[in-house]
Amino acid sequence: QQQVKQSPQSLIVQKGGISIINCAYENTAFDYFPWYQQFPGKGPALLIAIRPDVSEKKEGRFTISFNKSAKQFSLHIMDSQPGDSATYFCAATGTYKYIFGTGTRLKVLA
Amino acid sequence: ETGVTQTPRHLVMGMTNKKSLKCEQHLGHNAMYWYKQSAKKPLELMFVYSLEERVENNSVPSRFSPECPNSSHLFLHLHTLQPEDSALYLCASSQDHGYGYTFGSGTRLTVV
């Protein structure tokens, strides 16, 4: 019940394309769903987050779509750029629980 | 200096050594965390400190010993480690639990 399943493990997208990363959770007590971006040699950085009372949140080229009934959420990167090449982690959190997905390595080709 | 700062950035230690990792946050957050990041595994929560008190110890071996002397500083004391402990150790802070974390850049630890 504490897992967060993230897919795909790796993703290659052409410049200008849309990158989509999916996560699924099991524990309905989670109430905050962040996405982190990690570049080599750096720690993860908070990118965007959503609460379950909304179905979508957009910040610039990054959008989270949230499906509460399916217990799934996804990150969409519009107009993907080579600078977006990084590892992306989803997470699901609740009181004293913060569960991360296994990460998706994104490569955007120039 | 702002954010979360970790030192050293790299550490190589023998199995009989004793070393410490240091983390400092300049964000005024009230919670700090140690995470272990290994290849192809989810981030593993090791310790949580809230208002300088440890609130969670995630079944971490006793060869890892945390210390939080104040709300801005967090240490991870290491002794008699095993090669499988080689990983990236990340410190993070947050204002209250369950929200966005600010991570440091990590300490890349190699146990030989």
Is some CB atom of chain A closer than 8 A to the CB atom of B10? no
pLDDT of A27: 85
pLDDT of B32: 93
Task: Give me the count of residues in chain A.
Answer: 110
Closest CA to B11 of B3, B2, B21: B21
Backbone angles phi, psi at B84, to 5 degrees: -70, -5
Across chain A, where does the E strand assignment appear? 4-7, 10-14, 19-25, 33-38, 45-50, 56-59, 62-67, 72-77, 86-94, 97-100, 104-109
What are the tens digits of pLDDT across the range B6-19? 999 999 999 888 99
Is some CB atom of chain A closer than 8 A to the CB atom of B78? no
pLDDT of B53: 74
What are the tens digits of pLDDT across the range A6-25? 999 999 999 999 999 999 99
What are the tens digits of pLDDT across the range B60-90? 999 999 999 998 999 999 999 999 999 999 9
Is some CB atom of chain B closer than 8 A to the CB atom of A40? no
- Residues whose CB is less than 8 angstroms from the CB of residue B48 and which lie 6 or more positions away in sequence, other chains included: A96, B31, B32, B33, B54, B55, B56, B97
d(CA B12, CA A103): 26
Contact residues, chain B, for A34 at CB < 8 Å: 100-101
Is some CB atom of chain B closer than 8 A to the CB atom of A62? no
- Shortest Cα distance, chain A CAs vs residue B15, angstroms: 24
- Residues whose CB is less than 8 angstroms from the CB of residue A40 and which lie 6 or more positions away in sequence, other chains included: none
Token representation of residue B11: 């550490």
Which pLDDT band holds residue A96 (cuts at 50, 70, 90)? Answer: low
Token representation of residue A101: 């997905």
Q: Inter-chain contact B42–A94, Cβ cutoff 8 Å?
A: no
pLDDT of B42: 83
d(CA B109, CA B112): 10
